[in-house]
Amino acid sequence: MTTYIRTALSASALILACLGSPLAADDWYTHPFGELRANFSDWIAVCADDGAGPCRVVHSGRDDGSDAVFDYRLTLGYNDLTDHWVVEVMDRGMEHALNHVRLDFDGQWIDLAPGAWKAGETATANVAETFTILDPALADHLIEMMKAGNVLTVTYRPIGKDGTAQFSLRGVTAAIDAVEARYPRAAPVAPETAPPAPERAITGDQNTPTKPSY
């Protein structure tokens, strides 16, 4: 599949890149759930079993008027089986079988090809309102875009409740860096700049004509 990439450097893009730079870490602490945690602005680094278990970094939030623990969540988890990170997206009302997924990083978007994601979480397919990106090259590419970005907007079809979820990226770089520094086994091999998008994605920006396949 041909990959289409359009890149524009501007003052606003440089500002957004700066916003994605590492933030100062709070001290690690043991949560009552038995997890080792550290807070980084809008993100939390979490390691199970007081630091002895698998690690992940998480951003979550609630819809206006909701009393749920969270209504949307973006999780970057380290996969011990592949030595890579995986990306999990949860949004309240998301249908189980999706036919279109777009990830928009401050106007730079990626349409995922069919087969680039699976329903459910990494180890459990029957988790509702969630999809997971397991492909290592694609996940690493998306994480590099998160580090350089400010806001990630995920849109999907069928729409379900509203077909969109928005995630702050403020603190994601620091959270990832903290996990990698504490547990070097979790560090992905990544270049200094984001690599070209893998074949499982088509990329563009807000000026690129596009017709999603709903």
Residues 6+ apart with CB under 8 A from 117: 98, 101, 131, 132, 133, 134
**Domain tally for the chain?**
1
Domain contains 3 = no
For 138-165, write each residue's pLDDT tens digit. Answer: 999 999 999 999 999 999 999 988 999 9
Measure CA 37 to chain center. Answer: 18
**For residues 45 and 49, what is the distance between their CA atoms, to the nearest angstrom?**
13
Q: What is the pLDDT of residues 47-97, one digit of tens each?
A: 999 988 889 999 999 999 999 999 999 999 976 666 688 999 999 999 999
pLDDT digits (tens, 9 = 90+) for 163-189: 999 999 999 999 999 988 876 654 444
Question: Do the domain assignments include residue 56?
Answer: yes
Return the residue matching tokens 């459910």. Answer: 120
Q: Which two tokens stand for residue 172?
A: 């994601």
List the domain range (segments joined by +) for residue 80.
11-205
Helix boundaries (H) for 7-166: 11-19, 136-148
Residue 152 belongs to a domain: yes
37: CATH:
2.60.40.1880
d(CA 91, CA 72): 4
Residue 211 lies in a domain: no
State the Rg of the chain over Cα.
17
